[in-house]
Amino acid sequence: MKQLSLFLISLSLLLPACTQQHETEIKHTAPMLQLQLLLTQAASLATLPGESVRNHALELARRAMSGPEMNAMHHGGAADHPMMKATHDLGDAIFELLDAAPQAINNEHLQLAAQAAQMRLSGKILTDEAAAFMQKQGRALLSNTAPTQHTGNSAYDKAAAHLLALLRQTG
């Protein structure tokens, strides 16, 4: 009986700490998902022709990576959040792709991977049956786009392969 009492007291002391950690996790996860959603949209636009579309892709990526939301997260204790590295890696890969190709190169694999990532991220942000549907559809779309082996050694080919791998992991 004494052990049970000690266990219950210990549990009652640990529960608030666990709850606070969970609340902190949620506090940082939702904004990070939103930033990743901006980045996946930028990735999708980066493969479309037209200077104005590519400028929009660059604007979305800049906003996600250095806008007020990211700045607030860095100053609010999320700099060490596990999703922060993934978000920065995704943003860097988009900038790398935009730098590597002065003009858009139609890349269906990148477009589909970006769309699948957007669907999966939307599924994480939504909270009802639509969330499960979006997650399922995103996974299905991604499974229909087999990863490609890029044999080219150009800066664009390397940037596209890197971004494709990150998009497949996003969401």
Whole-number pLDDT of residue 95: 93
Whole-number pLDDT of residue 23: 44
Residue appearing with tokens 């100053």: 75
Dihedral of alpha carbons 142, 146, 149, 155, sign:
negative
Whole-number pLDDT of residue 17: 47
CA–CA dist 171, 162 (Å, integer): 16
Q: Which residue in 121, 108, 154, 116 sits closest to 137, CA to CA?
A: 116
Given a cut of 60, whether residue 10 has pLDDT beyond it is no
SS3 assignment for 19-45: HHHHHHHHHHHHHHHHHHHHHHHHHHH
Given a cut of 50, whether residue 164 has pLDDT beyond it is yes
> Average pLDDT over the chain, rounded to whole?
78
CA–CA dist 32, 106 (Å, integer): 28
Per-residue pLDDT tens digits for 75-101: 666 666 777 888 889 899 999 999 987
Whole-number pLDDT of residue 19: 42
Q: Which helix (H) or strand (E) holds 122?
A: helix 108-125
168, two tokens = 């497949």
Per-residue pLDDT tens digits for 44-64: 988 888 888 889 999 999 998
Given a cut of 90, whether residue 152 has pLDDT beyond it is no
pLDDT band at residue 20 using 50, 70 and 90 as cut-offs: very low
